[in-house]
C-alpha cells in the first residue's frame, strides 16, 4: 500500500508518502515546511497564509517522490489513497489542507482518508514500536492527554484541564522574550538550573498547567535565575505527566507506554518515563524525532491502516473538525486485534 499524507493543523505544512513495502520493510518520505512566527506565538491567520503558500510545494515534492519510486504501470496513480488531518487544529489551516487533499484524490482518482491528528500521534508510536495495545501519552503543543484502546475506541483516560503542555511552556518563554518554539530553549537552559518551588497539579487522572506557568512567570519577574525556573518547570510538568502515565498503566493493566507529540522530543521527559516504566517492568517507546512533532508521515501511516480497513471518506462527508476528539473515532483498523 502507498499513501500520500497531508498535515497542516497548526504550524507544519507537511506532505509524506508511506510505502508499506514488499518484504515487511516499509518507508516514509516526509517533506515539511514549518511556519516560524517573527515574534509571539502562532497567529491563526499567518499560519493559514503559510499553509496556502507551502502546502502546494510540499505536496508537489511528495508527489514527485511517489512518482520516482513507483514501479507500477505508467497509467496508474503512484499512490492508492490520499490521507489528510481533519482535526483537531486551526480551522483556516485545516480547510486549506482538506481542499488540497480532496483535489488531489479527485485528480489521481484514488480514495480519500480523513485522519484524526491526535490518534495519528498515538498510532505512529504503536507502528514504530510494534507494541500491541499500549497506553499513549500525547504531549504536544495544543494537547496533553493519555489514551488507551477499549471497546473499539481510543478512550481519553486523563487530560489537561487548561492549555496543552507545549503551549504552556511556550507561554512562559514568550514572557521571558524567547522566540517560538520555547520547548527546546527551556530544555537547554534547564541544564544549568536548580530546583525552586513551583505548584504541582494532578487531580485524579487530569492535570493543569496554568497555575505553574503563572508561578514560573512570577518567579522570573522576582529575579529567580531563568535557568532555575526552566529546570523546575521541567521537573514539575514532566513529573505530573509521568505520574498520570503510571496511573494509566496501572488502571489498564497495560505494560506498554508510547510517547507522542512535539514535547516528546524532550530528553528529560523521556528519561522520567523510561525510569518509571523500568521500575514497573513495562516497556517504553518514543518514536524518532521526525515522527514526534507534527508531520505528515504519521498521517500517511495511519491513513494506510484506515485505507486497508476500507475506512475512506466520500467527498460530501469530508468536512474538517477543529475540535475533533480522539474518542470520536471508531477504530476500524484494529478489528480482530485483542482489546
Name the site residues for ligand ATP (rule: CB under 6 A). Answer: 9-11, 89, 117, 140-143, 164, 166-167, 169-170, 181-184, 187, 261-263, 265-266, 293-294
Smaller CB distance to ligand ATP: residue 167 or 254?
Answer: 167
SS3 at position 188: helix
CB of 264 to ligand ATP, least distance (A): 8
Smaller CB distance to ligand ATP: residue 140 or 318?
Answer: 140
CB of 143 to ligand ATP, least distance (A): 4
Q: Which backbone phi and psi does 254 adopt, to 5 degrees?
A: -75, 150
How far is it, in rounded angstroms, from Cα 196 to Cα 187?
Answer: 16
Closest alpha carbon to 8 in 138, 132, 97:
97
Smaller CB distance to ligand ATP: residue 110 or 124?
Answer: 124
Smaller CB distance to ligand ATP: residue 151 or 323?
Answer: 323
Residues forming beta bridges with residue 6, ordered by sequence position: 15, 84
CB of 293 to ligand ATP, least distance (A): 4
CB of 263 to ligand ATP, least distance (A): 4
Smaller CB distance to ligand ATP: residue 103 or 161?
Answer: 161
Angle (deg, nearest 10), helices 44-68 and 91-108: 20
Q: For the chain, count helices (H), then strands (E).
A: 9, 12
How far is it, in rounded angstroms, from Cα 144 to Cα 204?
Answer: 15
CB of 164 to ligand ATP, least distance (A): 5
Amino acid at each position: 500500500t502507498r499513501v500520500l499524507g497531508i498535515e497542516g493543523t497548526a504550524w507544519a505544512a507537511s506532505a509524506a508518502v508511506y510505502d508499506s513495502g514488499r518484504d515487511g520493510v516499509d518507508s516514509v518520505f516526509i517533506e515539511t515546511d514549518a511556519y516560524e512566527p517573527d515574534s509571539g506565538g502562532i497567529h491563526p491567520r499567518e499560519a493559514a497564509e503559510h499553509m496556502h503558500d507551502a502546502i502546494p510545494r510540499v505536496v508537489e515534492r511528495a508527489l514527485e517522490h511517489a512518482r520516482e519510486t513507483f514501479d507500477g504501470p505508467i497509467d496508474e496513480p503512484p499512490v492508492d489513497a490520499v490521507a489528510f488531518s481533519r482535526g483537531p487544529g486551526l480551522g483556516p489551516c485545516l480547510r486549506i489542507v482538506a481542499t488540497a487533499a480532496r483535489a488531489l484524490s479527485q485528480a489521481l482518482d484514488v480514495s480519500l482518508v480523513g485522519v484524526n491528528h491526535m490518534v495519528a500521534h498515538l498510532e505512529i508510536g504503536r507502528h514504530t514500536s510494534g507494541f500491541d495495545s499500549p497506553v499513549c501519552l500525547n504531549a504536544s503543543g495544543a494537547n496533553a492527554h493519555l489514551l488507551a484502546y477499549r471497546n473499539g475506541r481510543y478512550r481519553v483516560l486523563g487530560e489537561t484541564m487548561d492549555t496543552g503542555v507545549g503551549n504552556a511552556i511556550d507561554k512562559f518563554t514568550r514572557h521571558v522574550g524567547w522566540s517560538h518554539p520555547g520547548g527546546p530553549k527551556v530544555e537547554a537552559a534547564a541544564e544549568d538550573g536548580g530546583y525552586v518551588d513551583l505548584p504541582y497539579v494532578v487531580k485524579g487522572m487530569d492535570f493543569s498547567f496554568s497555575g505553574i506557568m503563572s508561578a514560573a512567570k512570577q518567579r522570573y519577574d522576582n529575579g529567580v535565575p531563568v535557568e532555575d525556573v526552566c529546570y523546575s518547570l521541567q521537573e514539575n510538568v514532566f513529573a505530573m505527566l509521568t505520574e498520570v502515565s503510571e496511573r494509566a498503566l496501572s488502571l489498564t493493566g497495560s505494560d506498554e507506554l508510547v510517547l507522542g507529540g512535539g514535547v516528546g522530543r524532550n530528553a528529560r521527559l523521556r528519561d522520567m518515563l523510561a525510569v518509571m516504566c523500568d521500575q514497573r517492568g513495562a516497556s517504553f517507546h518514543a518514536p524518532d524525532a521526525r515522527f514526534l512533532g507534527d508531520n505528515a508521515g504519521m498521517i500517511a501511516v495511519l491513513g494506510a491502516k484506515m485505507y486497508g480497513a476500507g475506512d475512506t471518506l466520500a467527498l460530501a462527508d469530508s468536512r474538517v473538525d477543529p475540535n475533533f476528539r480522539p474518542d470520536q473515532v471508531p477504530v476500524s483498523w484494529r478489528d480482530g486485534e485483542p482489546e
